[in-house]
Each structure stands twice: as structure tokens, then as C-alpha cells.
């Protein structure tokens, strides 16, 4: 028996693998441990895929909030039904008269808060049915535009009709839709030719392991060194520290009275009414116990807070484990 901690693994998904394929392959090498992933990549896309191990599956919703960076090839002059290179070309238009200045102006206009209409070939559900199923049935379903944010977009290289873009964006952003929308704005049409996810939150492609490397490190018993702990994965959340008695109650899902909090870190002094926020709950040794929800209207003045308690949303350890590693049998 070897031991692996709960955590997040940075996997390099290669072309032609689905995200589910990656999970299934690695699950086949492990027994008695939950596996999942945060942030699906299309089969043709490559790059960072966060793999969640053990109780890491319990924090998926928080990791999905991470921003992402992509390197995308945009092909102008062709519109496809899938908005990427896997689809059928619907229209071809010339790009000869397109100037570099015009291209740069249009691309720059997509930086900041924008609205996107989800593509038909996507997993977004309308009326409980994934859009891709409707698309395969030949149906065009009305979709509502969604608010996303492009934090940064830059032109890496340009050799028309091919343009390489590096995009840093919020969750829910479709890069192929971005390429199609830029093409539409230029009047040439366009689609996404290829996509590499270079970063998801703190996970970068340069440090990602291929499936083969994951399997090799499992066999050697060295994979644990490559895992991001749950606490490291939740680095963006504020923290409160509690004493031993409160910690025991936290492990049973009991709320934390703010009067029992020994210390705060990264917590705003005033949480507006109608706003709640996730918070890490740790014991005096700095061990992550749970994720809580700070109540709306919480006010912290001089290190003290109001009477509203912090609700416990996710307990991440048990009385027995107290943050220790979990045993998993690894299939050789």
C-alpha cells in the first residue's frame, strides 16, 4: 500500500483524448479513490486539465472560478457550424483587403466584459437538453447571451488568414466563439483552428504531467510530490482560524460563531448586505478543516466580528484523518 493525499493534479491533456478519457485511464490505476476534473477540454484541444483526487472532488466548484489562459489559432475567412476546425465550412470570404491595423483594433475591442451566445455544439443545457444533442438533431435552439470577461487578449503572431491569440479570461468563456465573433466583426468570418490551455489558476502547462508521466510516477511512488494540496488549491479564499473545541464541532458540520474565531486573514472588513463569500476554516496548527460561508453583512472591526455565524459548507477532513493522507492501493 502506498499513500496519496487528497489534492489537485496538473495533467497535460493531449490531443484526441477527452477529459473523461484522462480520468478513466488514471482511475484504472487507482483503487478506492474518487477522481474527477475541473474544466472540460474538447478532444481536439490540449493543455492543462486539473485532476481532482479524493476530497479534491469536493472543491471542484471553487476551482471552476479560476481564470484561464489559452493560446488559440484563429483562422479568418471561413465560418464553420461548430466554430472550430472540426465542423463543416458554411461560408468562405476573402481576407486580402484586411489590414493589420483593422485587425488589431477589432481584437482589442473584445478585451473586458463581453457577452457571448453559447455555441450550439456545447454542453450548455436549454430546457434540460445539452445544446450539442439538439445540434446533432439538426435543431437551432434559441440561446441567451452570457456575461464573461476577457482580462487580456493579445496577438502573438499574424500570417493571414492565420492569427495566433493569447487570451486570459473568466470561467465560461468559449474561445471558439470569441474567434467566430471576431471574424464576424471583421466581416471575414472566422473559426478556431487549434487551442492550447496554458494555465488554469496556479496550474501552468510547463509543470503539467502527461498521462504517461502520471502512470510512471504512480509506479515509482513519487506522484504525491506533484500534487497541489487542498489548501494550496484554495489559495484565493480568505481564512479564519479556530481553537480545538470549535474545530471538533466544525468536523461535524456545526457553524462557527464569529466570537470563537481566533484570527482572520484576507477577509474584507465589511461584507455588503446580500453578499456571501466562501472562507477556509483552519485549526491552530494551520490545517484546513472545511470551507465555510461568511454571512452577508458580516463586519469585522479591530479583529472582532458580528454575531452572525459562519456556516460550514464542506467538511474536508474527518476526526480520524485530521488532515492526514488517505491510503489508496495502486495497481501496478
Neighbouring C-beta atoms of residue 256, cutoff 10 Å: 23
**DSSP-assigned letters across all residues of 195-256:** EEEEEETTEEGGGPBPHHHHHHHHHHT-GGGGEEPHHHHTTTS-EEEE-HHHHHHHTTT--B
Grid coordinates representing 172 are: 465560461
Distance, CA of 85 to CA of 144 (rounded, Å): 24
User: What is the number of residues in the chain?
Assistant: 332
Catalytic residue list contains 42: yes
**DSSP-assigned letters across all residues of 79-144:** EETTSBTTS-EEEE---TT--HHHHHHHHHTTSEEEEEPPPSSSS-EETTEEHHHHHHTT------
Catalytic residue among 6, 21, 42, 231: 42
Grid coordinates representing 277 are: 463569500
Distance, CA of 154 to CA of 245 (rounded, Å): 52
Distance, CA of 54 to CA of 227 (rounded, Å): 12
Residue matched to cell numbers 447571451: 145
Neighbouring C-beta atoms of residue 145, cutoff 10 Å: 10
Cis-peptide, bond into residue 161, ω within 30° of zero? yes
Beta pairing partners, 118: none
* Contact in structure between 43 and 84 (CB atoms under 8 Å): no
Known catalytic residues are 42
Amino acid at each position: 500500500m502506498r499513500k496519496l493525499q487528497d489534492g489537485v493534479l496538473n495533467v497535460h491533456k493531449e490531443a484526441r483524448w477527452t477529459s473523461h478519457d484522462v480520468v478513466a485511464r488514471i482511475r484504472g490505476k487507482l483503487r478506492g479513490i474518487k477522481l474527477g476534473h475541473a474544466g472540460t477540454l474538447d478532444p481536439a484541444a490540449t493543455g492543462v486539465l486539473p485532476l481532482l483526487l479524493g476530497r479534491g472532488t469536493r472543491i471542484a466548484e471553487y476551482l471552476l472560478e479560476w481564470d484561464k489562459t489559452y493560446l488559440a489559432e484563429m483562422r479568418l475567412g471561413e465560418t464553420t457550424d461548430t466554430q472550430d476546425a472540426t465542423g463543416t465550412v458554411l461560408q468562405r470570404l476573402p481576407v486580402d483587403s484586411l489590414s493589420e491595423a483593422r485587425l488589431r483594433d477589432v481584437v482589442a475591442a473584445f478585451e473586458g466584459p463581453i457577452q457571448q451566445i453559447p455555441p450550439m455544439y456545447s454542453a450548455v443545457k436549454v430546457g434540460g437538453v445539452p445544446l450539442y444533442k439538439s445540434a446533432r438533431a439538426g435543431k437551432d435552439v434559441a440561446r441567451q447571451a452570457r456575461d464573461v470577461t476577457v482580462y487580456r487578449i493579445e496577438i502573438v503572431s499574424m500570417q493571414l488568414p492565420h492569427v495566433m491569440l493569447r487570451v486570459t479570461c473568466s470561467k465560461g468563456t468559449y474561445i471558439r466563439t470569441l474567434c467566430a465573433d471576431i471574424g464576424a466583426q471583421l466581416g471575414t468570418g472566422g473559426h478556431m483552428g487549434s487551442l492550447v490551455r496554458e494555465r488554469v489558476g496556479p496550474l501552468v502547462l510547463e509543470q503539467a504531467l502527461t498521462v504517461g508521466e502520471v502512470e510512471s510516477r504512480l509506479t515509482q511512488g513519487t506522484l504525491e510530490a506533484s500534487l497541489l494540496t487542498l489548501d494550496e488549491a484554495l489559495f484565493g479564499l480568505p481564512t479564519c482560524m479556530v481553537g480545538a473545541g470549535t474545530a471538533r464541532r466544525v468536523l461535524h458540520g456545526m457553524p462557527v460563531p464569529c466570537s470563537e474565531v481566533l484570527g482572520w486573514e484576507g477577509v474584507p472588513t465589511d461584507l455588503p448586505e446580500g453578499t456571501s463569500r466562501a472562507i477556509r476554516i483552519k485549526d491552530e496548527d494551520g490545517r484546513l478543516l472545511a470551507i465555510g460561508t461568511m454571512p452577508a453583512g458580516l463586519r469585522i472591526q479591530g479583529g472582532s466580528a458580528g454575531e452572525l455565524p459562519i456556516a460550514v459548507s464542506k467538511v474536508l477532513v474527518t476526526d480520524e484523518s485530521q488532515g492526514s493522507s488517505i491510503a489508496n492501493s495502486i495497481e501496478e
